[in-house]
Amino acid sequence: MQSTYLPPSAFSARAAIPDMDAYHALCAHAERDYEGYWGMQARANLDWQVPFTRVLDESEAPFYRWFGDGRLNVSYNCLDRHIERGLGGKTAIIFEADDGAFSHVTYSGLHARVCRIANGLRARGVGKGDRVVIYMAMSVEGVAAMLACARIGATHSVVFGGFSAKALQERIADAGACVVITQDEQLRGGKRLPLKSIVDEALALGGCGSVKHVVVYQRTGGGVTHVSDRDIWLHDLMADQPERCEPEWVGAEHPLFILYTSGSTGTPKGVQHASGGYLLWAALTMKWTFDIKPDDVYWCTADIGWVTGHSYIAYGPTAVGATQVIFEGVPTYPDAGRFWQTIERHGVSIFYTAPTAIRSLIKASDMDPAVHPTNYDLSTLRLLGSVGEPINPEAWLWYHRQVGGERCPVVDTFWQTETGGHMITPLPGATPLVPGSCTLALPGIMAAVVDEAGQDVPDGQGGILVVKRPWPSMIRTIWNNPKRYQASYFPEELGGALYLAGDGAIRDKDTGYFTITGRIDDVLNVSGHRMGTMEIESALVAHPLVAEAAVVGKPDDTTGESICAFVVLKKDRPGGADATALAQELRNWVAKEIGPIAKPREVRFGDNLPKTRSGKIMRRLLRVLAQGGVVTQDVSTLENPAILDQLAKAV
């Protein structure tokens, strides 16, 4: 029997879901009357301008519609309704800058900023259904820009500030954006990094004819090129704009945002989310998973460039009127105590971060005891969360003991860009915790483990993670590519009606708890960043010297996985110093093509790749080689078994 950690009774006493009976009662309600359950939640958690009469429309499955005839505005729900209830003076955002300066923005203040940006965009012709790309670092302005788009019914697509000009260009072109909002430079760990000039570069690559304006937030004052008629400072766009802006009331299915994420094949997919269902789940999971209370100070360390920064920074916390910290910097600047110092400084009570960050801070505090969390006053913490990748039990225990002082439940939240919000997670006041398990599906989320034919497998036997019923915050389609949506997430092999998450899972025989066993497709998870092996391979073969490339993940103690690339050149295989230099060149090449997060840790050169007689690259074998292992499988079906030896030695 694994050791379990029961919720502290003082926590349960105040919790939104105080015990497992309450959890089971909600699950039973959803089982009994699925639409009634979700309809009740949507009425209780959101303010509707026009109430919906129909909860779920499955007539065009798997293109589901939720609350379809209801109308609402997301920014109204995130701002105005709190102000109308007297919370205008409450702090919405504590902005902690890279250099340690900080400032508070109230709900009224945020509302005014959002309205002025919204009015400024409207004045330039941006309206309902137009796409706006946001390429910004962590800032109040970044969140305000997202909410401003929501206010006028524009669909935003945030592109992570670490992506290259080429990656940005592809996303702008695919989305057909009419405006790009960016900033002059970003500050990270005391360094200034360009953003605006990367937008210039991206637009110069072509294919972005839809872009009429580039709006630039002045963060550092660093020099930027100004293209007249196209570029405008954010402060000029906002100048003279009134602090009120009539919201654009949209149907619940109106696309709130597109967020590009990696799949196992092809180019990144523009995951399209709706307005009503998405916001419902962002708000409700704030209440359930994070047990958010009016006096909490909440901090999620994610970036708005990822879905976590959408659901659990821009939308969830504001939808429930919470106070949150928004952090511009990095965990290791000025030293690796920055997270703990920031928690102490702002009295953070709910902290949500990624296992990679925890593991690297464990290492850092082993090296330098001065930055160990126990040197800081973390007594305000009452709940800890983890997201993005599996958290190993050692890291879980350290987080629980050294950060949470053994008094804070740890919620290991499993979800995806496509799911919009938490799917499988403990409820902090109810669920007995088992380190390394994300425990149980939230009420109304019909998660299950099936075999390759879509049949349920018994608990204790691993299989494929699926969701059996649609849920309100699910992906609606892939932008511009409904066929790919259907094929990727509702494959025929599983019967066409199960949502395929892309992860393997196993449920415990005794508890029914889920443990995620990792991706079952060619998607890597490096430091919680999701990347397709194909994307990296395409970047490598775009290099003039590369003939062929295969990329696999290699387990890593800190980053979860690291990228290992096997490369065949058009010329002879280099050795010694030539190989080292070329490997470095290719790593930098990938950083330029996609972004630094996609840089392979290791590049190995071979005369060929292991292939079947039909020409399929055997990535399974490459994974073994990447780990330094010996291939013991039968390789008689390989076209060229001898290549394995060469690649094993090519370290």
Q: What residues form the annotated binding site for CoA? A: 188-191, 308, 527
Contact 507, 513 (CB under 8 A): yes
Closest CA to 117 of 84, 135, 141: 141
| CB contact set of 391 (below 8 Å; sequence gap of 6+) | 355, 358, 399, 412, 435, 436
Give the whole-angstrom CA distance, residue 508 versus residue 460: 5
| CB contact set of 328 (below 8 Å; sequence gap of 6+) | 95, 96, 97, 98, 137, 138, 139, 186, 187, 188
Residue stretches of the annotated binding site: 188-191, 308, 388-390, 412-417, 503, 519, 527, 530, 541, 543, 546
DSSP labels for 306-362? Answer: SHHHIIIIIIHHHHTT-EEEEE-S-TTSS-TTHHHHHHHHHT--EEEE-HHHHHHHH
Give the whole-angstrom CA distance, residue 438 versus residue 526: 19
Can you list the positions of beta strands (E) in 430-574? 447-450, 463-467, 477-478, 499-507, 514-519, 523-526, 529-532, 546-556, 560-569
* Residues in a beta bridge with 514: 439, 507
Q: What are phi and psi of 457, to 5 degrees?
A: -105, 155
Interface positions with ligand WT7 (CB under 6 A): 261, 306-308, 387-390, 412-417, 438, 501-503, 516, 519, 525, 530
What per-residue string of b and e applies to 310-343 under the rule 16 or more CB within 10 Å gives b?
bbbbbbbbbbbbbbbbbbbbbbbbeebbbbbbbb
Closest CA to 115 of 255, 264, 277, 247: 247
Q: How far is the CB of 272 from ligand WT7 (least distance, A)?
A: 14
DSSP labels for 163-218? Answer: S-HHHHHHHHHHHT-SEEEEESEEEETTEEEESHHHHHHHHHTS--TT--EEEEE-
Give the whole-angstrom CA distance, residue 52 versus residue 43: 9
Contact 639, 611 (CB under 8 A): yes
| CB contact set of 607 (below 8 Å; sequence gap of 6+) | 568, 573, 643, 646
Q: Which two tokens stand for residue 455?
A: 């049949």
Peptide bond into 62 cis (omega under 30): yes
- How many CB atoms sit inside 10 A of residue 90's CB? 16
Give the whole-angstrom CA distance, residue 318 versus residue 298: 11
Q: Spell out the alpha helix ranges (H) of 418-529.
A: 482-489
Give the whole-angstrom CA distance, residue 466 versus residue 638: 33
Q: Which two tokens stand for residue 349?
A: 């009570």
Q: How far is the CB of 307 from ligand WT7 (least distance, A)?
A: 5
Q: Which two tokens stand for residue 549?
A: 């490339």
Residue stretches of the annotated binding site for ATP: 388-390, 412-417, 503, 519, 530
Instruction: Provide the Cα torsion 108, 112, 113, 116; round to 10°.
Output: 170
Can you list the positions of beta strands (E) in 579-648? 602-606
Closest CA to 298 of 361, 400, 238, 384: 384
